[in-house]
C-alpha cells in the first residue's frame, strides 16, 4: 500500500477511490503485469449504485467518474485504477439454479421466500379462518367448551373443520344439539350447524347463514407439496384468534400405521409448524395463500411433530358428503404393502420361488371371512392388475374402487414360481369403527 501511495501522484483521487470502496463495502484489487505495470480495481455491491442509498442523487456528484476511470499510466506513472460495477441482472444459469428448475425437476408455483411471503399468504386466508366453540354438557349441565378452528371454503357459509371439535366423542356434548358458535376474524358471530362429519378421517362440514358477504379461502393441491416446502398453520389456539405460525413440510405421506393408528389406511402431511389446543380444524396454507391441509393433531411431548389431512383427501371426502351424505369406503380384507426393487430383491433372497416382479402390491395377510378371502386371495400373492389396470401402489387400488360397493373387480395376482391367477373380488362397505 505504501508503494501505491508513493506512485499515486493525485492523492485526492486516491482518497476518493479508497473512500468509495470503504463506504460501499467494496474490494480493492491489484494486478501486476510481466512488464511491472500495476493496475488497481475497485468493486462495490449493487446497493452502492442505487441513488436512494446515498444522500446525494448520483455517484458522479460526490465521486466524479472521470476522476476514477481516467487514471492512465501517462498521467500517473505506472498505475491504472478502474471502477467495476457488479451486474445487477443474474446470468440465465444462475436464475435457473435459484428457481430449482434443474434437469426437469418439478416446477413450483413459488421459487423463493421473500420478506412478505408468509405475511401475504396469511393475509389471503386469514379473514376466512374462524373460531369454533361447542358447549360440553353432562346430564343437562354445561361443564365447559370444546374449542377449535375452521375455514370458510364457500360463500354460502360452508366451513371446513375437524370432526373431533364439533362431534360428540365422549357423550359430553348433548347440550349443543349439533349447534356450534362461530366467530369470524372481523368479530361477527353466527350459530353454525353440523352438516356432515366423518370420524375416521376426522373431517366435518358446518354451515352458517349470513345476509352479508363472507370471506372465503381457496383450496390448493397437496399433491404438489415436497418435503422442505414452507407452510403456514392458522387458527385460534387456546381461543387466541388470528394466530399464525410458519414451518416446513417434514413428510408428505406419513402413514397412519406409522403413528400407531388402526383402521383403514390414511396418509397425513407432517409439519413442524407450532400448533396447540384450538388449532384443530384450522387450515394449513402454502406460500401462495391456498389451503393445502387441515390441522388435526400433534404428538404430545414432542416438538415439531404435527399432522394435517391433505386437502386432496379432504376434497374427496366432501364429494362423498355431497353424493352419499357420508364417506363410503370399500373393504376387501387385505393387508397390502407397496413393492419396490429393494424389497423384491430381499424377498427373493429369502425365497427363490418368489415371483419375478419389479412392481406390484404384496399381500402379507388376508382376513378370514373377508371379501378377499372368499375371492381366493392367499398370503404371499402379488397384485399386478386390478380393475383391468396395472397397479403399483395401494393408493391406485383405492382410487380404482372409489366408493363402489358390491361391484365385482378382477385382480391379476402373481404367485410362487411365477404362476398367474385372475380372481374376482366384491368389496363390502367398511365398518366405520374399523
Active site residues: 164, 202, 280
Distance CA 294, CA 309 (A): 5
User: Are 296 and 257 contacting, i.e. CB atoms less than 8 angstroms apart?
Assistant: no
The H or E element containing residue 180 is strand 179-183
Cβ atoms within 10 Å, residue 360? 25
Distance CA 122, CA 114 (A): 14
Q: SS3 of 348, please?
A: helix
Dist. CA 423–CA 377, nearest whole Å = 8
Q: Check if the beta carbon of residue 245 is closer than 8 Å to that of residue 273.
A: yes
CB atoms within 10 A of CB 334: 24
The DSSP result for 251-298, as a single string, is EEEEEGGGGT--SS--EEEEE-----TT-TTPEEEETTSEEEEEEEEE
Amino acid at each position: 500500500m505504501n508503494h501505491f501511495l508513493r506512485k499515486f501522484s493525485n492523492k485526492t483521487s486516491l482518497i476518493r477511490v479508497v473512500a468509495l470502496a470503504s463506504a460501499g463495502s467494496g474490494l480493492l484489487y491489484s494486478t501486476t503485469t510481466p512488464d511491472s505495470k500495476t493496475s488497481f480495481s475497485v468493486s462495490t455491491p449493487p446497493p452502492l449504485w442505487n441513488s436512494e442509498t446515498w444522500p446525494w442523487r448520483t455517484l458522479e456528484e460526490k465521486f466524479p467518474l472521470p476522476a476514477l476511470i481516467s487514471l492512465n499510466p501517462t498521467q500517473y506513472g505506472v498505475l491504472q485504477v478502474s471502477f467495476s460495477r457488479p451486474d445487477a441482472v443474474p446470468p440465465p444459469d444462475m436464475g435457473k439454479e435459484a428457481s430449482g428448475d434443474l434437469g426437469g425437476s418439478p416446477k413450483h408455483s413459488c421459487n423463493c421466500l421473500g420478506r412478505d411471503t408468509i405475511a401475504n399468504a396469511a393475509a389471503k386466508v386469514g379473514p376466512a379462518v374462524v373460531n369454533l366453540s361447542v358447549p360440553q354438557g353432562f346430564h343437562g349441565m354445561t361443564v365447559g367448551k370444546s374449542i377449535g378452528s375452521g375455514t370458510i371454503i364457500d360463500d354460502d357459509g360452508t366451513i371446513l373443520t375437524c370432526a373431533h371439535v364439533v362431534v360428540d366423542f365422549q357423550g359430553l356434548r348433548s347440550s349443543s344439539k349439533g349447534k356450534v358458535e362461530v366467530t369470524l376474524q372481523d368479530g361477527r358471530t353466527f350459530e353454525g350447524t353440523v352438516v356432515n362429519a366423518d370420524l375416521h378421517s376426522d373431517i366435518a362440514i358446518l354451515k352458517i347463514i349470513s345476509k352479508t358477504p363472507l370471506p372465503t379461502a381457496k383450496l390448493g393441491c397437496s399433491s404438489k407439496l415436497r418435503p422442505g416446502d414452507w407452510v403456514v398453520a392458522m387458527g385460534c389456539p387456546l381461543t387466541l384468534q388470528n394466530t399464525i405460525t410458519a414451518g416446513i413440510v417434514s413428510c408428505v405421506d406419513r402413514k397412519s400405521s406409522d403413528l400407531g393408528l388402526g383402521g383403514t389406511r390414511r396418509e397425513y402431511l407432517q409439519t413442524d409448524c407450532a400448533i396447540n389446543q384450538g388449532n384443530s380444524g384450522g387450515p394449513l396454507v402454502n406460500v401462495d395463500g391456498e389451503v393445502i391441509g387441515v390441522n388435526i393433531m400433534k404428538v404430545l411431548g414432542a416438538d415439531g411433530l404435527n399432522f394435517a389431512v391433505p386437502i386432496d383427501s379432504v376434497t374427496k371426502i366432501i364429494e362423498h358428503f355431497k353424493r352419499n351424505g357420508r364417506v363410503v369406503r370399500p373393504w376387501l380384507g387385505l393387508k397390502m404393502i407397496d413393492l419396490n426393487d429393494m424389497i423384491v430383491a430381499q424377498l427373493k433372497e429369502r425365497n427363490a420361488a418368489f415371483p419375478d416382479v419389479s412392481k406390484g402390491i404384496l399381500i402379507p395377510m388376508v382376513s378370514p371371512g373377508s371379501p378377499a378371502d372368499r375371492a381366493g386371495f392367499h398370503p404371499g400373492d402379488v397384485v399386478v392388475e386390478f380393475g383391468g389396470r396395472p397397479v403399483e401402489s395401494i393408493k391406485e387400488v383405492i382410487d380404482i374402487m372409489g366408493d363402489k360397493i358390491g361391484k365385482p373387480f378382477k385382480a391379476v395376482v402373481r404367485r410362487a414360481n411365477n404362476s398367474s391367477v385372475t380372481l374376482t373380488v366384491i368389496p363390502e362397505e367398511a365398518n366405520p369403527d374399523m
